[in-house]
Amino acid sequence: MPTNCRLCSSSNTKLLFISKNMHGQHLLSNEEFNVLECKNCKVTFTDVDANSDFYNHYYPENYYDKFQGNKLIEGLLGLLEKLSFKRKLGLILRHKPEGNRVLEIGCAQGKFLNDLPSTFKKFGVEINANGRRYIQEHYPEITVYQDGIESENFSGCSAKYDIILMWHVLEHIKDPSAFLQQLSSLLNKNGVFIFEVPNRNSLGFRLTREKWFHLDTPRHLFHYNQISIKQLLNHQGLKIIGYSGNAVDYWHDFATSIRKCFSTKIPIINKVLYFILFPIGFTIRSLVSLISAQTAEINTYVVKHSS
């Protein structure tokens, strides 16, 4: 019996491969998940039932831990983080309408919102209690909401937002159509929605398939490309006005995907591979991101209302 698409319910789906419970380079269990492609709406999806136990079960405590390396790598990471913020701020300032109400969905510990100019009125959604507590203690100027925008308990819907931001959240959302419908209703008439997702058509996905860093099965429920994102947005009266590759964030993704393909049982060989692959991988993925957004590991979308 065919597995129906979890986005459009079509039975015209095809099994691409089977993937383990893998986060980045960490194998979390040997459970296996089917990854399928829908021939109708073009989305790729993980065949898993994201029920109420799913989130407790599959989000390990170290899920949000940062990559750690030596001093040189950490110095470089700091530089990349600054470049990343500059790029995102540039996008926001280029596209922002007159108003200054900004909402970040999945704002973690509020660092991004805090770094934005103080002229913005800042709001965040964070379901993690530790993240919310950190914001309340350190950044009193940020209003942080506990419930997601799709929840009937979301308490931030008394006024609309001029800018809505979302970095690497959409791929975790179980019902993206309903979610984007709600988001669209919260976005001001001239407002801008800027978000980022891993790209299923990336060089990394094409070359490494079930070893792809951003697969993160079963937590990433959907694996989007430009076509599936465009359809999803259009159905909610939203249109893409900007589309680009992100050359700086997740600098180690492509190298990690390739390394997983050549991983051996001999630790020293893996270590040597690590040092050879990371600078080469970073150079390749950054150049690809700058030259061709369609092949970049991560895509950034700038979105407005269609009319």
> At which residue do the structure tokens 């006024």 appear?
159
Q: Are 41 and 12 in contact (CB under 8 A)?
A: no
Tell me, what amino acid is at 19? S
Q: How far is the CB of 4 from Zn ion (least distance, A)?
A: 8
Q: How far is the CB of 228 from Zn ion (least distance, A)?
A: 8
User: Closest CB to Zn ion among 8 and 298?
Assistant: 8
Tokens for 298, please give them.
């991560």
User: Closest CB to Zn ion among 120 and 224?
Assistant: 224
Q: How far is the CB of 42 from Zn ion (least distance, A)?
A: 7
User: Closest CB to Zn ion among 109 and 228?
Assistant: 228
Phi, psi of 153 (to 5 degrees): -90, 0
Q: How far is the CB of 38 from Zn ion (least distance, A)?
A: 3
Q: How far is the CB of 78 from Zn ion (least distance, A)?
A: 41
User: Closest CB to Zn ion among 12 and 62?
Assistant: 12
Site residues, Zn ion (CB under 5 A) = 5, 7-8, 10, 38, 40-41
User: Closest CB to Zn ion among 42 and 252?
Assistant: 42
Q: How far is CA 140 from CA 59, 122, 154, 173, in A?
A: 28, 10, 20, 28
Q: How far is the CB of 217 from Zn ion (least distance, A)?
A: 18
Give every CB contact of residue 305 below 8 A, 6+ residues apart in sequence: 184, 187, 189, 190, 191, 237, 238, 239
d(CA 52, CA 96): 37
Q: How far is the CB of 230 from Zn ion (least distance, A)?
A: 14
55-89: burial string, b at 16+ Cβ within 10 Å, e else: eeebeeeeeeeeeeeeeeeeeebeebeeebeebbe
User: Closest CB to Zn ion among 4 and 188?
Assistant: 4
User: Closest CB to Zn ion among 38 and 116?
Assistant: 38
Q: Where are the beta strands (DSSP E) in the chain?
A: 13-23, 26-38, 44-46, 101-105, 121-125, 143-145, 161-167, 187-198, 222-223, 238-245, 298-305
Closest C-alpha among 143, 142, 164 to residue 155: 143
Q: How far is the CB of 232 from Zn ion (least distance, A)?
A: 10
d(CA 216, CA 25): 9
User: Closest CB to Zn ion among 8 and 116?
Assistant: 8
Collapsed DSSP state (helix, strand, coil) of residue 171? helix
